[in-house]
Amino acid sequence: MRHIISILLENEAGALSRVAGLFSARAYNIESLTVAPTEDSSMSRMTLVTSGSAEIIEQITKQLNKLIDVVKLNDLNVSCEQHIEREMMLIKLKAPVSSRDEIMRLSNIFRGNIIDVSDDVYTVELTGTSEKLNAFIAAFDCDSILETVRSGVMGIARGSSSLHL
């Protein structure tokens, strides 16, 4: 099963490689990983998407907790009733005159923004769940997509439960 694990990490050089190294050394898989400093600059917040059996996920959280640089973590699929996840994508599309209306229409439907326009290329910014981003991509044929860049999933618990020191 797919799990989203939120991690508060010491903002130390090498902390990220400890997490990445753990996953490769123990052959766990990482679907996506995002990390950036928090409001407290001594810590980073990481969201890690992984999948595996219940036993493997249990080992993953135990092994992560064992890393000295991990301050705290939550498996959002276990520790809270509901969570929200979001991912952001920038997608660069061929935009010949004939398909501009279609791009604008789809962007509107998906609540995206066209953030850059040149002679025959549009760049769209889109935020949502990974499925939503996938669906947007699927709405275009491969030939018209020049480039995509995705942030990876960020997650947060609904309601009052929160991951902090």
Partner 1 sequence: MELSGAEIIAQFLHDEGVEYLFGYPGGAVLHIYDALLRADSVKHILVRHEQAATHAADGYSRSTGKTGVALVTSGPGMTNAVTGIATAYLDSIPLVVLTGQVPTGVIGSDAFQEVDSVGISRPCVKHNFLVKDVKDLAETLAKAFYVASTGRPGPVVVDIPKDITDPNIKIPYTYQSSIEMRSYNPVTKGHPFQIKKALELMLQAKNPVFYTGGGVVLGNASQSLRSLVRRLNFPITSTLMGLGAYPSSDEQFLGMLGMHGTYEANMAMHDTDVLIAVGARFDDRVTGHLEHFCPTAKIIHIDIDPSSISKTVKVDVPIVGDVDDVLTTMLEMLKETEQNSDTEALKDWWKQIKQWRKKNCLRYNKKTKSIKPQYVIEKLHEVTDDDAYITSDVGQHQMFAAQYYKFEEPRHWINSGGLGTMGFGLPAAMGVQLAHLDKTVACVTGEGSIQMNIQELATCMQYQLPIKIINLNNRYLGMVRQWQEFFYEGRYAMSYMESIPDFVKLAQSYGHVGMQVDQSADVEEALREAFAMKDKLVFIDFITTREENVYPMIAAGKGQHEMELAPDSELV
- Which of 136, 156, 153 lies closest to 93, judged by CA? 136
> Does residue 21 belong to the site contacting partner 1 (CB under 8 A)?
yes
In angstroms, what is the minimal distance from the CB of 67 to partner 1?
A: 8
3-state SS class at 1: coil
Taking the complex as a whole, the smallest distance from the CB of residue 63 to partner 1 amounts, in Å, to 5
Q: Burial letters for 73-102: b for 16+ Cβ neighbours within 10 Å, e otherwise? A: bbbbeeebeebebbbbbbbbbebeeebeee
Q: Which position among 46, 48, 57, 71 is part of the footprint of partner 1 (CB under 8 A)? A: 71
Q: Any contact of residue 79 with partner 1 (CB under 8 A)?
A: no
Identified binder of partner 1 from the candidate list 66, 101, 141, 160, rule CB under 8 A: 66
Among the residue ranges 30-38, 63-71, 80-88, 92-100, the one whose residues contact partner 1 (CB under 8 A)? 63-71
**Binding-site member from 29, 65, 108, 113 for partner 1 (CB under 8 A):** 65
Query: Strand order in 43-51's β-sheet?
Result: 29-37, 43-51, 2-10, 70-75
- Judged by CB under 8 A, the chain residues 40 through 59 that form the site for partner 1 are 55, 58-59
Is 92 a residue that touches partner 1 (CB under 8 A)? no
- How far is 93 from 103, CA to CA, in rounded Å? 8
